[in-house]
Amino acid sequence: MISLGEVTGFWIIALLTLHCAVVGETKRNILNEPNVPFPPACPTAENLAAVCHQGQGRPRYPASFFPKSRVSHFRRRGNAINRLESWFTLCCSGQSDQILCCAKQAWKQTLKQFCMEEYSTMTNAYVCCRKKGAARWACFNSDLPNPNYDPQLGYIAPAIPAQPRLAFNASAC
């Protein structure tokens, strides 16, 4: 015979398991916020091979990844990552002598647009966006969650809608 205590214990364990489970791609931290590793590293000669050849193994952030409210700053970060990955694909399919230059331009344009979006809201802007010139780029390229652009084991990026065209300036290379 099963006692009431055993049934209650079973349900408590079941509910805790469901509450703590990671479902699909939605990973959350202790505050139940989406996990969007940010900022992306500036492309370099050292990480360019990973930028170009391992892009499908790095996270993308479709709208369904985010809760409906209270996470607009994470949504802007996810959109910036999506845009950058899209532009990396364009850069990596270009002329080999301009790939790194293109990827760096894509990185700067992505983060410039991210900062414009940050300032278009009534919230505090990301700390690096408050800086100007070289200080801004140095800030964005510090404390990086994935400086080598390593892929996530077993992850395959979902299709993301096309991003606005990259304004690549080949004469700046």
Q: Mark out the alpha helices in the chain (DSSP H runs).
A: 4-20, 48-53, 72-92, 99-119, 133-140
Q: What are the CA-CA distances from residue 108 to residues 42, 65, 111 (Å)?
A: 8, 25, 5
Cβ neighbours for 171, distance < 8 A, ≥ 6 positions apart: none
Position 18 scores a pLDDT of 37
How far is residue 93 from each of residues 36, 90, 120, 126, 136, measured CA to CA in Å?
26, 5, 33, 31, 28
pLDDT along the chain (173 residues), means of 10: 50 40 42 86 98 96 87 93 96 93 97 96 92 97 96 93 88 89
What is the rounded CA–CA span in Å between residue 33 and residue 11? 26
Task: Name residue 85's amino acid.
Answer: E
What is the reported pLDDT for 67?
Answer: 87
Q: What pLDDT score does 17 carry?
A: 38
What pLDDT does 13 receive? 42
Q: Where are the domains of the chain?
A: 36-172
At residue 70, the pLDDT reads 80
